[in-house]
Amino acid sequence: MTKIGAIDTGSNAIRFYIVETTGDSDYKVLENIREPIRLGGDVFLTGKVREENIRRAEQAFRRFRQILKQHNVQTVRAVATSAIREAGNDDLVLDRLEKASGIRVEVINGDEEARLIALAVGRKIPLEGKDALIVDLGGGSVEITLVEDGRITMTDSHNFGAVRLLDILSSAGNDLAQTGALLREYMDLVSRKLDRRSGGRKVPMLIATGGNIEAIAQVPDVRSEPHPDFPGTVRVKPANLRKFMEEISGMTVKARMERYGLREDRADVILPACYVYHKIAEIHGADAILVPFVSLKDGLVLDTMARYQEAEHGRNIREQVLVSCRHLAKRYKVDLGHSAKVTELAGQLFDQTASLHGLGARYRLCLEAASLLHDIGYFISIQKHHKHSFYIIANSEIVGLSPEERLLAACIARYHRKSPPMADHEEFTALPKKDRAAVRSLAAILRIADALDKEHAGAIRGITCQIENGRLVIQARSRTSGRLEGISLEKNAEMFRDCFGVDVRLSIQPEE
């Protein structure tokens, strides 16, 4: 058994978790602490975390460190979300927390936040083979995740969490109609994105996470009911949520606290939270909102547990990245047959030329993502489509890739044709030195793979590579003579020769 610590440095509070693992995905909670430090209240109004709250956060982290020692916890993962992401003094805050406690805090983006929450949801509501929409409303942002056939195909992070909305809506007082008018512009944006991503199709299951919906679900007036198929999960009817929203809109924060037993830092944000959840249910036509009572910290624990099974975890992450890339390629009308063939060939080239490039699994995954999406720029224009591919990839969500890895994939795709990387290319020179070298190597491999399917016909069935006398010989099994692929390879092999100092020759083995 292993003990794991998890810390979620959120916008409305800092949450601390210690669990003891009891199985593949099971664990027992030993500590569950919530420190009501509203970092988002500072950042969303002033752009920085104020000194008083930095000191309070330091005290909380010192306490966490003591508790970790008491439980003899060796593995800790701490993350920060939208408040720290946007803070102008984020480096200062993170540095002081680490110095105070020895705990390093990782700032995660909205895509990673959504992935971890979906991981937590899957523990309570099995998502395999299901379509679902997961909505997580935090203090600073709302993460909306679309799951299709058990796989995440879209994540969107919007900067209108409950604390931020409370600040925006301060001028609206307790008037529901005015509140609705101020929120409608945000929710219209969500509606358009959901319709575009799902093709107007309604997803049958709406799942909500976050402290606000959990508090709402436990209010007797909302009349939530246990879900018959998912233990520990309740159902909230949108009509009941609407009635509750109308009721609290005319109440003061103090009155909400007294009547419903809410904490002050929950009672003040619960109205905008109700509106967001109700509006998404309305947009989606959901007859129930499922509340599984899981959070980001559960996702952190499950993700950490998965890392102990490193090989399996790597396969899972790879599959998630490829699913996300295929979904993106489909949206931009990429030739999926060609992109799949190029990805297959690029992977074979990567594996069989390892002695030349010496790169690991992280770079292979970036190459696969770039291969699937290298022609995505055609959606904008045939001319200079490689440059358009860079822009689309760099600015799109690819679930499972970090922002740095996504930029790597974008650069690899950028150089699959035309000019190699140059000193005056800002997107290339901005990369760390080791990544610049990797981009050169991987783009050279992608050029070869793309050339081997020049006609988009899938004629090359597979390849075997051998390095002989300073030459890379590619033996290809093909349904055709391979002459066109050979000509294309000659035109696209220069970058490979420059990178690795070897010529490239194609040998065709006819296949009936």
pLDDT tens column, 450-465? 999 988 888 899 999 9
Poorest-pLDDT segment among 282-286, 342-346, 387-391: 282-286
pLDDT tens column, 347-380? 999 999 999 999 998 899 999 999 999 999 998 8
Asked whether the predicted pLDDT for residue 168 surpasses 60, the reply is no
Name which residue leads in pLDDT, 38 or 363.
363
Which pLDDT score, from 0 to 100, does residue 496 have? Answer: 94
Measured between alpha carbons, how far is residue 470 from residues 68, 396, 467 in Å? 56, 40, 7
Name which residue leads in pLDDT, 44 or 361.
361
Phi, then psi, of 292 in degrees rounded to 5: -90, -5
- Give this prediction's pTM: 0.66
- In eight-state DSSP terms, residue 31 is E
Confidence of residue 279 (pLDDT cuts 50, 70, 90): confident
HEC sequence for 452-505: CCCCCCCCEEEEEEEEECCEEEEEEEECCCCHHHHHHHHHHCHHHHHHHCCEEE
d(CA 41, CA 34): 17
CB proximity list for 38: less than 8 A, separation 6 or greater: 11, 12, 13, 53, 139, 163, 265
Residues 275-287, buried b or exposed e (16+ Cβ, 10 A)?
A: bbbbbbbebbebe
Alpha helices by DSSP H, listed for 353-432, are: 354-357, 361-373, 385-394, 403-414, 426-429
Q: What is the set of domains in the chain, with CATH numbers?
A: 3-108 (3.30.420.40), 111-299 (3.30.420.150), 309-510 (1.10.3210.10)
